Each structure stands twice: as C-alpha cells, then as structure tokens.
Amino acid sequence: MCEQEDETLNHFAVCRSSRQAWSDCEAATVKQVLQYLKKLLIHEDGKIQKRVSKVTPAQLTRILFTYLDSAYENMKDHLREELMKGLIVNAQVKILAKLTTHKLGNKLMLKFLEVFYEEFHTAL
C-alpha cells in the first residue's frame, strides 16, 4: 500500500495513504455494530429498548473511535495503534454500559473488536 516506508503498526496509524482506509473501516464498523445492537435489543424489555434505540451512529462513533474527538487529537496515533492490537480503554466500556446496559455494553465492545479487526484487515 505504501511505497515510502515499512508497513508497521505505527506507520498504518499515521500514513497519509491509509486515511481513506481508516475512514472506510470506521464507517463499516459502526454500521455493523449498530446492526448488532438492534438485533440484541429484540431480547430486552421495553424500557431498555426505548432508551437504547436512541443511540445514534455519531454517539457510537465517538465512543468506539475516541481518537476522532478533538480532545484526543494528540493521542490519535497512539490510540489507533492500541486499537490495531485489540486494546481498548476501560472508559469506552463504561460509557457504552451507561448508554445501554452493562451486559449490552460488554457484548458491543466484543463485537466492535471482532468487526474492526475484520474491516481493518480488509481495508488495508
């Protein structure tokens, strides 16, 4: 993909030629995780369904891809590298659990890692 440097995790995180691949990967991942959440909601009670169905793609994107938040701009490369290794921040799980439920939050994070891994390797 890149002809200028060795393709290391660090390079994939910062390389200009991989920007579109990152965007595609992020969009596809959020779409699939949101679809998964909708499937999970079928088995929840009405109150939970009503509350969780209000989760937007934008909210999910900010939670799953924290580096897209301008507050984390300085940490973007590091957070991308961690994500490529399958590492997530505990705060992400807590925010998802608060927005949904503890059980749904955990399931969503597992699904997120699975989908991201597949999408990332397909995109790059």
Q: Tell me which range, 2-6, 11-15, 58-62, is most confidently predicted by mean pLDDT.
A: 58-62
Domain that holds residue 73: 9-123
Contacts of 64 (CB under 8 A, 6+ apart): 26, 29, 30, 33, 92, 112, 116
33 inside domain: yes
Q: Is the pTM value of this prediction over 0.75?
A: yes
The residue among 6 and 103 whose pLDDT is bigger is 103
Q: Tell me, yes or no, whether 1 lies in a domain.
A: no
Considering its fold, how many domains does the chain have in total? 1
Domain assignment of residue 104, yes or no: yes
Average pLDDT over residues 30-34: 96
What average pLDDT does this structure show over 81-100?
88
